Amino acid sequence: MDSMTIIAVVSIITAGLTIALGSIGPALGEGRAVSTALTSLAQQPDASATITRTLFVGLAMIESIAIYCFVVSMILIFANPFWNHVIVGAAKVAGK
């Protein structure tokens, strides 16, 4: 396998693994956060505005981790600098 093929194969596999593994942690964390929020809502329903707002802010923080993994995998697929580099090199070789 030449370097172009290796770069392509590794990028594709890494992109899939990044988003797959990167969503496990945030999903578990968000589940725990919502379940604790529901428990405290059941115990103190009159604080529901504060609890709901804090829950949403906390969920956004947890979600950011999954978003970072998603952005990395998008970069690997669509804006991959190594792939662009070897494509430019291959075009130069073909043009000669």
Partner 1 sequence: MRLSPDQLVFWQHGFFKLNGTIVLTWGLMLVLAVGSKLITRKLSTDLKRSRWQNLLEIVVTGIEKQISDVGLKHPEKYIGFLGTLFLFVALAALCTVIPGYEPPTGSLSTTAALALCVFVAVPLFGIEEQGFWGYLASYTKPTIIMLPFNIISELSRTLALAVRLFGNMMSGAMIIAILLTITPFIFPIVMTLLGLLTGMVQAYIFSILAAVYIAAATRSRKPKPALAIKT
Residues 31 and 85: their CA atoms lie apart, in Å, by 42
* 30 part of the interface to partner 1, by CB under 8 A: no
Instruction: Give the binding-site size for partner 1 (rule: CB under 8 A).
Output: 16
CA quadruple 73, 77, 83, 87: dihedral, nearest 10: -170
Residues 60 and 80: their CA atoms lie apart, in Å, by 27
In this chain, which of 1, 35, 78, 81 binds partner 1, going by CB under 8 A? 78
In this chain, which of 20, 71, 87, 88 binds partner 1, going by CB under 8 A? 71
Q: Which residues of this protein are in contact with partner 1, per CB under 8 A?
A: 49-50, 53, 56-57, 60-61, 63-64, 67-68, 70-71, 74, 78-79
